[in-house]
């Protein structure tokens, strides 16, 4: 038993060292291969033929989401660096900068959906005649999240396959209408959800969020590497929680370090899209479901987010040229 | 003897404690590391199993670098941080060729690796094995709980930050623990309050009391608050032993208090 599992592990590592996307499709094909080994004899050749065809098919074709022009994913290798807050305020910033554009927000964090709380939305989406879910709207942004579909305290203890089918539903079974931008809030890590989304839909670009400490940067770097592997352009980095200003004496403390993200951006050869300070009002407003871009549009925090939004639009335009 | 065989490599491990949180970046790895160090200061032999496959950060926090993992008859030999072998560590970080590599894996692959991780590490004699988990409730968590079922798990420590967005995720985690029959040893509120180094004004950047409230609401014991401390984060970054470097700080007393509570509650069980 132990021997068998060691060889399995060896195989596992062999796969990762090669081209990862190819490896994944091979792993998926492994299951039927094992079963087929049992049946021997004349059928072998036709089976091999079928196998070959199966392998040649490769990864699923990317299919755009109906009505959506450009998809922007907000990701980071690490959790708790402010992806959801950034995603929400980026979506609001995009529509504040240019009210003629329509922006949607998809919360792909199946395990810990925060968009309902941040956008102050609750309830179950209605169904259209075509059996599509109608997104809930607040602040003029249509939103979809796993949080609308399950109870607030219910854990979503799912294996990867179930998560993939949930993501498929959130991507395909939603009536977005016409959107210029769809901002996708990714879960932390580099797992099933990230793979499914990058493989199933064409993505205009990824925004990586990181806090300045080295440990977060390590993970952010892994996140960026993943997007490289799956050929998604990285639009740039957002450095979050870089500086805290004491509300009493205005002394500035770099709790999580100062310029880490800038250095990482240099090594990765991408731009810094913005620098968001650690500010009480961002957290307070977020907990209350009033994102800063909407609740205090004149604050420097809101301006920082709007700047990120315009930087994203610029980068997208530069990429499409 | 039969019993020992069934439990395999974990036979000589006295207590197994999981560190969980629904949300990422709340300080699971930091807390795991500091707890391990605090328990070691209390004279215990401690092991850490880092199952955060997508972002292993503990090797860095303990500054063990990138050692080779050796094999012996019983399985993989964990990496020891000191000559006394009082703190052992096993992490996926050791097995990656390049530290920047992204582990982009789907569920079944992770489950297989965790199965190995749990059963094939030759921990030897340990008082505590702390398991640091990735955020969420997914394949990794199920695999850990399933594989540890043969062995008695003492329970789980839930880590949260005080803001509402985070406690909401941890509530889901509590339900997960109840469903899988994991005992909740307690809730730790991390990053609660930041004391300005200049004027000593305490600002609650991420609000305050969220963890305690959650503990009351769900009937789980509340283990304590750990403040947001730049000294702690810089220690973690540089891989220094915070508990040795700043034994006078409030953060230290908070962590050692938590370690004490865990010692008593696991001994009692």
The whole-number mean pLDDT for each consecutive block of 10 residues of chain B, a chain of 269 residues, reads: 58 92 86 93 92 84 85 88 88 79 80 86 92 86 87 90 86 88 92 83 85 89 90 84 85 91 85
β-strand pairing of B222-228 with B155-160: unpaired
Q: Which token pair is A285?
A: 């407003």
Distance CA B269, CA B254 (A): 23
Q: Among residues A271, A307, A274, A277, which one has the least CA distance to residue A96?
A: A307
Q: What is the pLDDT of residue B148?
A: 87
- Distance between CA atoms of residues B162 and A16, nearest Å: 38
A227 chain-B contacts, CB cut-off 8 A: none
The overall average pLDDT reported for chain A is 83
Q: Are B80 and B88 in contact (CB under 8 A)?
A: yes
Identify the three-state secondary structure at position A93: helix
Both tokens assigned to A125: 């989406």
Kindly list the structural domains of chain B, giving each domain's residue range(s) and its CATH number in brackets, ordered by start.
7-268 (3.40.50.300)
Q: In what helix (H) or strand (E) does residue A210 lie, and over which residues does it extend?
A: strand A205-210
Torsion angles phi and psi, residue B245, rounded to 5: -75, -40
- pLDDT of res. A11: 52
| Cα→Cα distances A294→A91, A104, A143, Å | 11, 16, 16
Q: Residues of A39-63 as b/e, b for ≥16 C-beta within 10 angstroms?
A: eeeeeeeeeeeeeeeeeeeeeeeee
Task: Tell me B151's DSSP state.
Answer: S
Most confident stretch, A98-107, A143-152, B150-159: A98-107
Buried b (16+ CB within 10 A) or exposed e, A139-164: bebbbbbbbbbbeeeebbbbbbebbb
Counting one residue from chain A and one from chain B, the pairs whose CB atoms sit within 8 A come to 229
Domains of chain A, CATH where assigned: 2-57 (no CATH), 68-320 (3.40.50.300)
Q: A residues 205-234 near B, CB within 8 Å? A: 211, 213-216, 218-219, 221-223, 225-226, 229
Whether the predicted model's global pTM rises above the 0.80 cut: no
Map tokens 């660096």 to a residue.
A81
Sign of the C-alpha dihedral computed for residues A285, A289, A291 and A295 taken in this order:
negative
Interface of A with B in 234-263 (CB under 8 A): 244, 246-249, 251, 253-257
Report which of B247, B209, B199 is spatially closest to residue A253, judged by C-alpha positions: B199
DSSP code for A82: S
- A159–B199 CB contact, under 8 Å: no
For residue B121, the 8-state DSSP code is: B
Question: For A216, left (φ over 0), alpha (ψ -120 to 50), or beta?
Answer: alpha
Encode pLDDT of A184-221 as tens digits. 999 888 888 888 898 889 999 999 999 988 888 888 88
Interface mutation target, options B61, B172, B239, chain A, most CBs of A under 10 Å: B172
């Amino acid at each position: 038993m132990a021997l068998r599992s060691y060889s399995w592990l060896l195989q596992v590592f062999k796969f990762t060292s090669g081209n990862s996307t190819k490896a994944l499709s091979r792993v998926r094909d492994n299951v039927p291969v094992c079963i087929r080994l049992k049946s021997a004899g004349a059928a072998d050749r036709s089976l091999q033929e079928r196998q070959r065809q199966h392998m040649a098919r490769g990864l699923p074709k990317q299919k755009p989401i109906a009505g959506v022009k450009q998809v922007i994913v907000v990701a980071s290798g690490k959790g708790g660096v402010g992806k959801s807050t950034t995603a929400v305020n980026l979506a609001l910033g995009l529509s504040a900068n240019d009210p003629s554009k329509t922006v949607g927000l998809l919360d792909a964090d199946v395990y810990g959906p925060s968009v309902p709380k941040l956008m102050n939305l609750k309830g179950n989406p209605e169904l259209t005649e075509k059996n599509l879910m109608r997104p809930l709207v607040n602040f003029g942004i249509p939103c979809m999240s796993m949080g609308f579909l399950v109870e607030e305290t219910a854990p979503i203890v799912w294996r990867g396959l179930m998560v993939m089918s949930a993501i498929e539903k959130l991507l395909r079974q939603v009536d977005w209408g016409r959107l210029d931008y769809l901002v996708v809030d990714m879960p932390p890590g580099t797992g099933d959800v990230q793979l499914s989304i990058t493989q199933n839909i064409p993505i205009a670009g990824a925004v990586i969020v990181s806090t300045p400490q080295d440990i977060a940067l390590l993970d952010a770097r892994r996140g960026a590497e993943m997007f490289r592997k799956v050929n998604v352009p990285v639009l740039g980095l957002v450095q979050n929680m870089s500086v805290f200003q004491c509300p009493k004496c205005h002394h500035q403390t770099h709790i999580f370090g100062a310029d880490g993200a800038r250095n990482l951006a240099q090594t990765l050869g991408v731009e810094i899209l913005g620098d968001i300070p650690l500010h009480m009002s961002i957290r307070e407003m977020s907990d209350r479901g009033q994102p800063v871009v909407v609740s205090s549009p004149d604050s420097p925090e809101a301006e920082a987010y709007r700047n990120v939004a315009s930087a994203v639009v610029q980068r997208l335009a530069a990429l499409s040229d | 003897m039969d019993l020992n065989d069934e439990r395999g490599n974990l036979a000589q491990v006295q207590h197994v404690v999981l560190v969980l949180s629904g949300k990422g970046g709340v300080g699971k790895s930091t807390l795991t590391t500091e707890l391990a160090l605090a328990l070691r200061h209390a004279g215990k032999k401690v092991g850490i199993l880092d199952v955060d496959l997508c972002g292993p950060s503990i090797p860095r926090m303990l500054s063990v670098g990138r050692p080779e993992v050796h094999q012996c008859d019983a399985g993989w030999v964990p990496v020891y941080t000191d000559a006394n072998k009082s703190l052992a560590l096993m992490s996926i970080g050791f097995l990656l060729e390049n530290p920047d590599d992204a582990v982009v894996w789907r569920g079944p692959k992770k489950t297989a690796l965790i199965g190995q991780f749990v059963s094939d590490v030759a921990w030897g004699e340990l008082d505590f094995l702390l398991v640091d988990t990735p955020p969420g409730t997914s394949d990794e968590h199920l695999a850990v709980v399933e594989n540890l079922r043969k062995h008695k798990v003492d329970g789980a420590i839930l880590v949260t930050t005080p803001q509402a967005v985070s406690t909401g995720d941890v509530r889901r985690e509590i339900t997960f623990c109840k469903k899988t029959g994991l005992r909740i040893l307690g809730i730790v509120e991390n990053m609660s309050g930041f004391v300005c180094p200049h004027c000593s004004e305490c600002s609650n950047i991420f609000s305050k009391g969220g963890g305690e409230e959650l503990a009351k609401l769900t009937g789980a014991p509340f283990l304590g608050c750990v403040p947001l401390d730049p000294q702690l984060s810089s220690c973690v970054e540089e891989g220094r032993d915070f508990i040795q470097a700043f034994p006078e700080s409030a953060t230290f007393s908070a962590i050692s208090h938590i370690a004490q509570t865990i010692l008593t509650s696991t001994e009692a069980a």
